[in-house]
């Protein structure tokens, strides 16, 4: 899945640069170098998913039940 996200990121950058996919002589790294960045979309998405998961784990609601599998009885 990470490779697919990296490919999508380069595809989006090519669209922003109005660079046709037919410019196959420009590598994906070459495209990222043109905008002076490193491909990090996958890392950002994974970090945000983990932050969201940690927020849910801190809650004591019904939303936490599928993650922990614990049911507290009163």
Q: Can you tell me the mean pLDDT for 46-64?
A: 77
Q: Is the pLDDT confidence value at 57 over 80?
A: no
Stretch 37-50: mean pLDDT, rounded? 82
Task: Report how far residue 38's alpha carbon sits from residue 53's, in angstroms, rounded to the nearest whole number.
Answer: 26
Work out the pLDDT band at 61, boundaries 50, 70, 90. low
User: Of 51 and 26, which is predicted with more confidence?
Assistant: 51
- pLDDT at residue 20 above 80? no
Nearest to 9 by CA among 34, 32, 26, 36: 32
């Amino acid at each position: 899945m990470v490779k697919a996200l990296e490919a999508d990121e380069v595809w989006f950058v090519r669209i922003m640069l109005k660079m046709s996919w037919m410019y196959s002589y420009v590598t994906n790294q070459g495209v990222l170098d043109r905008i002076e960045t490193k491909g990090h979309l996958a890392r950002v998405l994974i970090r945000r998913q983990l932050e969201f998961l940690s927020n849910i784990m801190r809650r004591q609601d019904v939303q936490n039940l599928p993650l922990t599998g614990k049911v507290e009885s009163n």
